[in-house]
Amino acid sequence: MAEPEPQARRCHGLVAHPTTNAERDEAVAAITEARRTSDTTGLLINLSRLTGARSCPANAEQP
C-alpha cells in the first residue's frame, strides 16, 4: 500500500502548478486530452502548469 502523500503547499501563482502527485497526474491527463481533441489553448495552459515553477514559494519544501 502506498504511503499517504504529505500535505503540500498550494501554489497561488497566475498559472498554478501542481504540488502533489495527484495534481501532476491531473495535469498530464489534461495534456493528453488536449492533444487528443486538438485543444491548443488547453495544451498551452496545462503545459504551463508543469513548467516555470522553480521560483514558487510552494516548492520551497519539496525536494
Distance CA 42, CA 38 (A): 9
Terminus-to-terminus CA distance in the chain, angstroms?
A: 22
pLDDT, one tens digit for every residue, the chain (63 residues): 555 555 556 766 667 778 788 988 999 999 999 999 999 999 999 898 887 666 666 666 555
Cell readout for 25 is 497526474
Considering the entire predicted model, what is its pTM?
Answer: 0.67
